Amino acid sequence: MKLRILIADDHELVRRGLIALLQTHEGWEICGEASDGREAVEKAKQLKPDVVILDVGMPNLNGLAATRQLSRQDPHCKIIVLTITDTDQVVQEALDAGARGFVLKSDAARDLVSAVEALQRNRMFLTPRVNDLVLAGFLDRGHRPTQGNPPDLPKLTPREGEVIQLLAEGKSSKEVASLLNLSTKTAETHRSNIMRKLGFHSIRDLVVYAVKNNIIQVQLPAHGSNVTEPVA
């Protein structure tokens, strides 16, 4: 039986590249694509993939929040997180959320096939730096990084985490309500609770928080003479 893979990235160009990398592998099948975390969770529910490959920086629901939902929805589904950075915080959140593979986008052409193969054999796949971090956590605390909420979201519910992302992306309470199938009043209540719990007084505070905690990713302004550009 073929290994069924769902790919989620907000850039179709990257999805095409990932599909081109994976589809020639014998015994693997790309069963679906999604362009944001919410669509990935929905499609995973319908398609029951064996492996989901998730970009971290996606609109509507980011890859880490989607990983949490997917892990709850189907504990047997194996998740590989694709990211442009392997900072301690992203690593810890990804592993806590239930990811079992961690691949840098810049290394995806080299590592992604190995990562899927590892998960297929019920093993984890981590970058060398992430391996070191996990080992350091094990040695420091006698166990791997702790389960539970990410360190900087101690008081927020998963739903509030979703609302933060949508508000930080510039969506109104009405749009949040529509995307999450809530009443506008409930969305506004979530918004008030978030502002109160985190001690924020403006949406600006919330956006800064969302950027600092990798809930959303922003593109830096372009400067012609010395441009650097993250992968899509």
Partner 1 sequence: MTIRILIVDDHPVVRHGLKTLLEGRTEWEVIDEAEDGLQAVDKAGLLRPDIVVLDVGMPKMNGLEACRIIRQTVPECEILFVTQHDSPQMMREALSAGARGYVVKSNAARDLLAAVEAVSQHRPFTALNGHSTANSS
User: Residue 53 has which token pair?
Assistant: 């490959």
Only one of the segments 130-138, 173-181, 184-192, 216-224 lies at the binding site for partner 1 (rule: CB under 8 A); that segment is 216-224
Q: Is 181 in the site for partner 1 (CB under 8 A)?
A: no
Rounded (to 5) percent helix, strand, coil in the chain? 50, 10, 35
Shortest Å, Cβ 110 to partner 1: 7
Answer for the pair 94, 68: CB distance below 8 angstroms, yes or no.
no
Answer for the pair 106, 231: CB distance below 8 angstroms, yes or no.
yes
Shortest Å, Cβ 109 to partner 1: 3
Angle at 137 between CA 134 and CA 139, to 5 degrees: 110
Q: Is 13 in the site for partner 1 (CB under 8 A)?
A: yes
Provide the CB-side half-sphere exposure for 50 (13 A, CA). Answer: 16
Q: Is 21 in the site for partner 1 (CB under 8 A)?
A: yes
Q: Is 182 in the site for partner 1 (CB under 8 A)?
A: no
User: Residue 143 has which token pair?
Assistant: 């166990």
CA 14, 15, 16, 18 dihedral sign is positive
Q: Is 24 in the site for partner 1 (CB under 8 A)?
A: no
Measured CA to CA in angstroms, residue 96 lies from 7, 75, 89, 155, 176 at distances of 21, 13, 10, 16, 26
| Nearer residue to partner 1 within complex by CB, 181 or 226 | 226
Shortest Å, Cβ 113 to partner 1: 12
Answer for the pair 213, 150: CB distance below 8 angstroms, yes or no.
yes
Footprint of partner 1 on 84-143 (CB under 8 A): 105-106, 108-110
The site that binds partner 1 (CB under 8 A) totals a number of residues, namely 29
Q: Is 171 in the site for partner 1 (CB under 8 A)?
A: no
| Nearer residue to partner 1 within complex by CB, 10 or 96 | 10
Shortest Å, Cβ 86 to partner 1: 16
Answer for the pair 215, 194: CB distance below 8 angstroms, yes or no.
no
Q: Is 232 in the site for partner 1 (CB under 8 A)?
A: yes
Q: Is 20 in the site for partner 1 (CB under 8 A)?
A: yes
Q: Is 1 in the site for partner 1 (CB under 8 A)?
A: no
Answer for the pair 177, 183: CB distance below 8 angstroms, yes or no.
yes
| Nearer residue to partner 1 within complex by CB, 21 or 179 | 21
Q: Is 39 in the site for partner 1 (CB under 8 A)?
A: no
Residues that bind partner 1 (CB under 8 A): 10-21, 105-106, 108-110, 219, 221-222, 224-232
